[in-house]
Amino acid sequence: MLATLPQPTIIQSAEPEAGTQLPASILVIYTGGTVGMEYNRRGELVPMKFERIRKKMPELRQLHMNLAVLSLPEAIDSSNVVPADWLLMARIISENYARYDGFVVLHGTDTMAYSAAALSYLLENLGKPVIFTGAQVPVGRIRTDARRNLLTALDIAAARHPMVNTARVPEVCVFFNDLLIRGNRAKKVESQQYSAFRSENYPPLARAGIEVAFNDQGIRLLPAGPLCPHQRLDDRVVLLKLFPGITERVVRTILEIDDLRGCVLETYGSGNAPTAPWFLRCLREAHERDVHLLNVSQCEEGRVIQGQYETSAHFADLGIIGGDDITTEAAITKLMFVLGLHRGSAETSRLLTQDLRGEITVV
């Protein structure tokens, strides 16, 4: 992690207009990704200096808001994102929190859902919008989606509730194409079309048409306390996806990794798994080594209901935690976050079953 953070560069200042509220101040954090690419003289896509975005997007001048840009020293391809990058993003937001009304994080699409989920846990008591967005096509291309995504994300980050004049969406979210999705509910589902993200188990927080229509009932309420940023994640976790024919050797190789603390177990349907004695024995031994096992479904829709079928009836006795309707992306990052709190085993298990930031639906 950088000892000294890069400083924002002001790219647009707006004067207050008579009879209107003060213009919103938004910090755009450029981490990398297609949205900030341009072609060099050899026709290759390379990261541009994002402070020049107003030359690429003169329509930004039509937004009545104060804009600043902070670029990471080295743009990150989202396939290379690691937990240290999430901690850096959280630190940037927390150290600039008092100076801005909202934040837009420009990020590559491949791991955007993981990053948004991680930030939702790290930024406890968040009371301002943190909107992740990006593009499938670079901003310099004619049919780019970068302009639409960025302009709407900025609009949402600046939005105030008309009744109480507070942040309209005080959450970590992903905005893409025409949907605003809770960050820890998002999943990338498309690599060739503009509608790259969906939320299968929770309705969108807003839809962007001619106007942005907010789903106020689905948006989390403002927190009662001040922002509480976290700066610890435990990356000693693993993902074990079940498939017909998986062998004991494979399962043991994964679950017996030295110093393993947690495992997201991707099971079938509503949380079902093989009942072979060797498989149950592997799970029991992992639990006895204090490896926390979080059961999530391979299905995009629905939820884990342990015990609904015989093939998951033994899971509770083995100490396996049902993940309800959590996504794999939110489950992995939740494990890292909760384990990073360094609580006792019982408290860790309890936190993993709780809805911390709207990532699961309590029924």
- Distance (Å, rounded) from C-alpha 204 to C-alpha 180? 6
| Residue 306 tokens, joined | 């342990």
Q: Are 119 and 89 in contact (CB under 8 A)?
A: yes
**Strands in the chain per DSSP E:** 9-12, 24-30, 37-39, 45-47, 65-71, 102-106, 123-124, 130-133, 172-176, 179-182, 187-188, 197-198, 206-208, 212-214, 228-229, 237-241, 262-267, 292-297, 321-322
Beta bridge partners of 4: none
- Choose the catalytic residue: 4, 20, 31, 34: 34
**Residue 330: per-residue pLDDT:** 97
DSSP states along 116-158 = HHHHHHHEET--S-EEEE--SS-TTSTT-SHHHHHHHHHHHHH
Q: Are 11 and 58 in contact (CB under 8 A)?
A: no
| Residue 91 tokens, joined | 């630190």
**Residue 308: per-residue pLDDT:** 65
Mean pLDDT of 180-192: 90
Mean pLDDT of 205-212: 94
Which of 129-138, 185-194, 234-243 has the highest average model confidence (pLDDT)?
234-243
**Residue 39: per-residue pLDDT:** 67
Domains identified in the chain and CATH numbers = 9-229 (3.40.50.1170), 237-353 (3.40.50.40)
Kindly report which listed range (114-128, 192-206, 245-259, 320-334) carries the lowest average pLDDT score: 192-206
Average pLDDT for the chain: 89
pLDDT over threshold 80, residue 336:
yes
By percentage, how much of the chain surpasses pLDDT 90? Answer: 62
pLDDT over threshold 80, residue 323:
yes
Q: Helix crossing, 83-95 with 112-122: angle to 10°? A: 50
- Distance (Å, rounded) from C-alpha 298 to C-alpha 216? 30
Q: How far is CA 14 from CA 45, 66, 167, in A?
A: 32, 5, 19
**Residue 310: per-residue pLDDT:** 57
Q: For residue range 280-299, list pLDDT tens digits in order.
A: 999 999 999 999 999 999 98
Confidence of residue 163 (pLDDT cuts 50, 70, 90): confident
pLDDT over threshold 70, residue 199:
yes
Among 322, 237, 238, 318, smallest CA distance to 280 is for 318
pTM, two decimal places: 0.93
Confidence of residue 247 (pLDDT cuts 50, 70, 90): very high
Kindly report the length of the chain.
Answer: 363
| Residue 150 tokens, joined | 């960025």
C-alpha 270: how far from chain center: 24
Mean pLDDT of 19-41: 82
Beta bridge partners of 314: none
Q: 91 burial class (0-12, 13-18, 19+ CB within 10 angstroms)?
A: middle
Q: Are 330 and 185 in contact (CB under 8 A)?
A: yes
Query: C-alpha angle with apex 113: 34 to 239, nearest 5 degrees?
Result: 120
**Residue 140: per-residue pLDDT:** 61
**Residue 31: per-residue pLDDT:** 93
Q: Are 186 and 358 in contact (CB under 8 A)?
A: no
Confidence of residue 220 (pLDDT cuts 50, 70, 90): very high
Confidence of residue 147 (pLDDT cuts 50, 70, 90): confident
**Residue 246: per-residue pLDDT:** 96
pLDDT over threshold 70, residue 337:
yes
Among 135, 139, 107, smallest CA distance to 194 is for 135
- Distance (Å, rounded) from C-alpha 363 to C-alpha 361? 6
Q: Are 121 and 334 in contact (CB under 8 A)?
A: yes
Tell me whether residue 34 is one of the annotated catalytic residues: yes
